[in-house]
Amino acid sequence: MGRLSMNSLIRSIAVDPKTPQRVYAAGPAGLFRSDDGGLAWAAASKGLAGEPLAVALDPAAPQTVFAVLIDDSVWQSHDRATSWQALEKGQ
C-alpha cells in the first residue's frame, strides 16, 4: 500500500498501552506503525487484503493488533502488525 505523510487521511489511531511510543494509524494509504511516538512511520499493511478503516489493540496483549477493512472484514496480527490473518465472521 501507500505511504504515510503529513497530508495522509487517518481514520483511526491506536496507542500501545504498555509501550506508548508505539502507535498505529489506519487510513486509505494503508496501516502504519511508529515505534518512536509518530516521528517515523513504517508500512504495516503487508498481507492485508484491502483498505484499513480502523485499528485497535488488545489492551491485555498489545502485540495483538486488529484491523477492520472497508469491506467489513476483520484481520488479526499477533506480531505487532508484521503479518495478518483474516478472522472468520463470528470469531
Quote the pLDDT of residue 42: 95
SS (H, E, C) the chain: CCCCCCCCCCCEEEECCCCCCCEEEEECCEEEEECCCCCCCEECCCCCCCCEEEEEEECCEEEEEEEEECCCCEEEECCCCCCCEECCCCC
pLDDT at 1 over 60: no
User: Could you read off the pLDDT of 21-37 as tens digits, one per residue?
Assistant: 999 999 999 999 999 99
Pairing of strands 30-34, 52-58: unpaired
Residue 8 banded pLDDT, cuts 50, 70, 90: confident
Q: Give the model's confidence band at 2: pLDDT under 50 very low, under 70 low, under 90 confident, else very high.
A: low
Q: What is the pTM of this model?
A: 0.89
- Among 71, 60, 56, 61, smallest CA distance to 26 is for 56
d(CA 37, CA 20): 7
- pLDDT for 36-88, tens place per residue? 999 999 999 999 999 999 999 999 999 999 999 999 999 999 999 999 999 98
